[in-house]
Amino acid sequence: MWVLLGVAVVVVGFAARLNPLLIVAAAAIVTGLAAGMDLLATLAILGKAFRDNRYISVVWLILPLIGLLEREGLQERAKALIGQLKSATAGRLLLIYMVIRQGTAAIGLTSLGGHAQMVRPLIAPMAEAAAEAQHPDLTPATRDRVKAFAAATDNIGLFFGEDIFIAIASILLIKGFLEENGISVEPLHLSVWAIPTAVLALVIHGTRLLLLDRRLAREAGR
């Protein structure tokens, strides 16, 4: 159980608002040492993991582009577009996005959404604009709730949709873990059994999104 000290390092580090990169590196080193490995072996494994997954850093190249688009008024244009659709509500808009997000993740296109490249510059402002069009006097707390639902919708859609794709890293991780413990299972079977969970996630969170519209209406009527 000592290897769980790495989790404690992550919790304490984020609670103290330290540098995330420093926290993750420290947690990895603590976990390795707690598992009985020496420092050099731990650093070697950490370096190998970074080298094997260095292609992930390519994603950061898109951030300057997103920042430039926001500076030039991307959020304002998104709000103006949704404001013209009288039938649009925050719940309906987020429900449509969740269906798209979960569907694309199910076929392996996990990079089509995300907080930095989709939620912050587009989805959250559009949901906020839809809510404002229906209820002009939104409180700051209500605006924050709509933004939180936008972020949660992206998370849930991706999390439960990606496991349907047979070659996603999470499926391969589950397969590897089960095989290490003597359980042989095909990736296709894992993907098939992920479908009912994804459907339930869509129904449950979709219901929450539709209830969000009712809650906004109640709050506006006070």
pLDDT at 160: 92
* Angle (nearest 5°) at CA 181 between 176 and 187: 35
The residue count for the chain:
222
Q: Provide the whole-model pTM.
A: 0.67
Q: Would you say 129 and 83 are in contact if contact means Cβ atoms under 8 Å apart?
A: yes
pLDDT at 152: 95
pLDDT at 109: 86
pLDDT at 116: 79
Q: Which residues contact 10 (CB under 8 A, 6 or more apart)?
A: 23, 24, 27
- The domain ranges of the chain are 1-52, 62-220
* Amino acid making up residue 37: M
Distances (CA, A) of 8 to 12, 104, 216: 6, 35, 38
Which segments in the chain show pLDDT lower than 50? none
pLDDT at 220: 66
pLDDT at 118: 86
pLDDT at 208: 95
pLDDT at 205: 95
